[in-house]
Structure 1
Amino acid sequence: MAKRIGVVGIVIHEPKTVAEKVNTVISDYGHIVIGRMGIPKPEANVGVIALIIEGTTDEVGALTGKLGNLPGVTVKSALTTQSLEEEKNHDR
């Protein structure tokens, strides 16, 4: 299956209660994470994480599914429409 590059946005409500579980899931999928930026907002009791990922749609779906099943976690993803394999072949 071809890989795609994309972004996963994660909003964590009440991060003190679930942040450890979020970090565990992200670590489990570390092989598809290219970059990560996290912004804490303790005054709003919210945290936001942006992940730059490169993986198959199955891998991204598994990551976002596990994160989305955690209580107080909202996840959205956006992937490129063209696979990286198509890009490589196009450049030749």
Structure 2
Amino acid sequence: MESRIAVISIIVENSDSVECLNRILHEYGIYIIGRMGIPYRQRGISIISVAIDAPLDIINALTGKIGRLAGVSAKTVYSKA
């Protein structure tokens, strides 16, 4: 299956979901190119960007699992190629 490059943007508003989020990201670790997390303490949220190289169905599955966590939002931007 063809691999795509994508960036998943994640906003965590519920810190109770962080452990589960990290478990999910670890599960897909073989596809992750890198990740950057920014704690925004003044607002009590965390902003995370995950760069990934994977088949489209894997990227969609990961984004869906993340988006189902309580207090967590995720959106994905895909490369054109």
Q: Flag as ranges the 4+ runs of structure 1 deviating above 3 A.
A: none
Q: When the two structures are aligned, how many residues end up with a matched partner?
A: 81
Structure 1 residues 10-60: Cα deviation after superposition (integer angstroms, max 9, x where no partner) = 000022x11111111110100110010000112211001001100000000
2:28/2:62 contact within 8 Å kept: yes
**Structure (1/2) with the larger helix percentage:** 1
Whichever residue aligns with residue 31 of structure 1, its letter is: I
Tell me the C-alpha RMSD between the 2 structures: 0.8
Match of 2:55 in 1: 56
Match of 1:4 in 2: 4
| Structure 2 segments unaligned to the other structure (5+ residues) | none
Structure with greater Cα Rg: 1
Identity of aligned residues (%): 36
Please give the alpha-carbon distance, in whole angstroms, between the structure 2 residues aligned to 1:34 and 1:20.
Answer: 20
Taking structure 2 as the reference length, the TM-score comes to 0.95
